[in-house]
Homo-oligomer: A and B are copies of this chain.
Amino acid sequence: MSRVHCDHPPLKARRLGLFTHDQAVVIMRTDCPACHSAGLSSRSHVQVYAGDRSIYAELLQIDSELLELDTIGMSQTAWDLLGVEEGDEVEVSHPPALTSLSHIRSRIYGNRFDYEGISAIIDDVVARRYTDVHLAAFLTASATPPLDTQETIYLTKAMIGAGERLDWNKDIVLDKHCVGGLPGNRTTPLVVAIVTAHGLTMPKTSSRAITSPAGTADTMETMTPVDLELDKLKKVVREQGGCMAWGGAVQLSPADDVFIRIERDLDIDTEGQLVASVLSKKVAAGSTHVVIDIPIGPTAKVRSIEAADQLSELLTTVGKEFGLTVACVYTDGTQPVGKGIGPALEALDVLAVLRNEENAPQDLRERAAVLAGLALEIGGVAAKGEGTALALQTIANGRAWEKFRDICIAQGGLNIPEVGDHVYTVTAPFDGVVSNIDNRNLARVAKLAGAPRSTGAGIYMDVRLGDPVKKGQSLFKVYAGAPGELAYAVEFSEQAETLVDIQPV
């Protein structure tokens, strides 16, 4: 569809400083000549042109004097994508039809996606042509029925194709991932430090949280800059053998970063979408081997060995299509790993392990060692069966901490994070034993307290499963950056049916 020229003068761009996430939004007067001539109405979509750039945006209309008749107010995303300056001339027209929607409709009506269809959808998503309505429909339609193996391969391929793809020119490029669902499972920074301390390559990019209180990128960001541009990331990896960066900043599988906000809003995160999300990032990052941690437990994301087998099979099959060797490790998913839940609180756990502090969480240290050990074996640094011991030794002798500091400094500096100012302690109502820990509800409390957005917010666990407790003893503390959030989280924790349950003795 070519650009339709209209007989009205161009509009003047005006920065509103309005924050709307990925979606570009523009605001025009209801009575402006451009709206009238093109017959534009509020919440319709428009193509906005400035010089040789053009963006797709949602139009809101306003009838008050807040905006001049000849100006177009632009949200920050619209402003940045279009690259305009205050007062620049801008033209607006109807956007080209979103033909990729027909593939979503086709799946809604019971057909499967083909590669052409998924690829057209991902192109539109990455070009920010999909509104919230379209994104939610795509993700929902992709979940019912679940994507099959072939569709997952197509989705992965389309997501890889839509962004940058790195090549490290090495035979073995390692990576790791945890499928999540377990609060505080922050092994990544430890694994990267251990593996790269032995000269192996591990250009680790991580996601922000989808439905959890913190993603690895959120946690790392409390200690060092993670939004490294591509050249910077390459430089860090060349120098250090690895990095701990946010994947979104380097445009590896950029569609994934758009989906995350909607998935979080709907609290859905299905198998095919999960596999495509994980593997597209790994392939785009140039990895050849990936170790995947699958915690299993009744309130973890994967709830049974059968479900883990099914996920593992799909990960392995899809990985193979892209020359990526996948090694899955099943771990205990019955309770949080470490003591902190939330970006800063988890970062403090990581630092405690690296610095061999007395109160460092044992479980986090051991789990990281198992995963790093497998990577050391794949990388040929440790003999089969001896990786874990080597990994533990690398922590104990301080080499991992030294390497961690070097990588952070290469990324832009090391910061020791601080927890939220507002604290509430949840105590045992009577004497007993900790009989159950509900990961989902704990995560919920941490999120209500403000995590991951409020980096110091979250939970610090004072007990573990099976611990004996006395009435009035602290079970966990809730941290928040604002009193309203603390109140909200505490209110929920007091109403929750299960959280940290005590069996009287």
Docked-complex contact B454 and A1, CB < 8 angstroms: no
Which chain B residue shows the least CB distance to A136?
B136
Question: A7–B483 contact, CB under 8 A?
Answer: yes
A137 in contact (CB, < 8 A): yes
Does chain B have a CB within 8 A of A453? yes
Residues of B within 8 A of A143 (CB): 108-109
Is A39 an interface residue, CB under 8 A from the partner?
Answer: yes
Tell me the smallest distance from the CB of A38 to a CB of chain B, in Å: 4
Q: How far apart sit A495 and B480, CA to CA, in the bound complex (Å)?
A: 58
Give Cα A54 to B135, complex, Å. 29
Q: Which residues of B contact A30 (CB under 8 A)?
A: 17, 19
- Which of B43, B132, B481, B492 is within 8 Å of A39, CB to CB? B481
Interface residue from B266, B270, B484 paired with A37 (Cβ < 8 Å):
B484
Contacting pair B39 A480 (CB below 8 A): yes
Tell me which of B43, B62, B140 contacts A16 (CB under 8 A): B62
Given A105-B266, A107-B144, A484:B64 Cβ within 8 A: no
Q: Is A133 an interface residue (CB 8 A)?
A: yes
B480 touches A64 (CB 8 A): no
Whether A66 sits at the interface, judged by CB under 8 Å, is yes
Docked-complex contact B144 and A491, CB < 8 angstroms: no
- Tell me whether A266 and B60 are in contact in the complex, defined as CB-CB below 8 angstroms, given that A37-B484, A453-B41, A484-B37 are known contacts: no
C-alpha spacing A450/B454, complex, angstroms? 45
Is the C-beta of A134 less than 8 angstroms from some C-beta in chain B?
yes
Answer yes or no: A141 CB below 8 A from chain B CBs: yes
Chain A residues with CB under 8 Å of chain B are: 1-2, 4, 6-7, 15-21, 27, 30, 36-39, 41-43, 60-64, 66, 93-94, 97, 101, 104-105, 107-110, 131-137, 139-141, 143-145, 261-262, 265-268, 270, 448, 450, 453-454, 457, 480-485, 487-488, 491-492
